Amino acid sequence: MHGIVSLLDDEHYALVEGVWARLEKEFGVRGMYAMTRFPHFSYQIAEDYDMDGVGKFLQEMAQSMSPFRIRTAGLGVFTIGNPVLYIPVVRSPELSALHEKLWNEIAKTASAPINYYRPEMWVPHITLAHGDINRDQLGEIMRALGDSDFHWEATISNLSLIYDTGTNQGLRCRFNFGDKERTAC
């Protein structure tokens, strides 16, 4: 699976990494390290993309954009299968418009995009634990993190593509907003 994402700013990137480290130390939860090592929120996840097409589109879009602010709001849990613990990103009209534009264009280059990221279903979020968190741990983890402030304002300044080969994950490309330099994806 591959993802079209925005990486978090340095401050919030470090905060998420700190939560990941705490979850590993206190609860043995390492699922995010297996999935992706890049604190982010996703616009679209798909089995594969036409990399040239998606890279060109992301670069052109990022060149015309300016950094913007997002807000987060506490903690959330997706409850299908094993729980997914996350920080909700408040869905503003501007963020929804950006997501819809990205989805509509990138879906043309995507193979098997995940329906949970469709504009009418999208819940923007920053994943804290996924894959190896179980229901028995969930209450204890929520209590442990309950004293932390997850009401943040973060600056978003990029569109990025994260890849997953099944054995390796990485950052395929990052396009910073307003950057006119041409780079390949």
User: Cβ contacts of residue 27 below 8 Å, gap of 6+?
Assistant: 133, 137, 140, 141, 144
pLDDT tens by residue, 152-172: 999 999 999 998 877 778 889
Question: Which domain does 128 fall in, by range?
Answer: 2-176
Is 183 contained in some domain?
A: no
Is 184 contained in some domain?
A: no
Is 162 contained in some domain?
A: yes
How many angstroms separate the CA atoms of 144 and 128, rounded? 13
How many angstroms separate the CA atoms of 73 and 96, rounded? 16
CB 87 within 8 A of CB 72: yes
Angle between helices 51-63 and 93-106 (to 10 degrees): 150
3-state helix, strand, coil in the chain (%, to 5): 35, 30, 30
Q: In CATH, what number is assigned to the domain containing residue 92?
A: 3.90.1140.10
How crowded is the C-beta side of 76, counted as CA atoms within 13 Å?
15
Is 66 contained in some domain?
A: yes
Is 24 contained in some domain?
A: yes
Is 134 contained in some domain?
A: yes
**pLDDT at 110 exceeding the cut of 90:** no
Domain count, the chain: 1
pLDDT tens by residue, 60-78: 999 999 999 999 999 999 9
Is 182 contained in some domain?
A: no
pLDDT tens by residue, 168-181: 788 899 999 998 77
How many angstroms separate the CA atoms of 4 and 54, rounded? 9
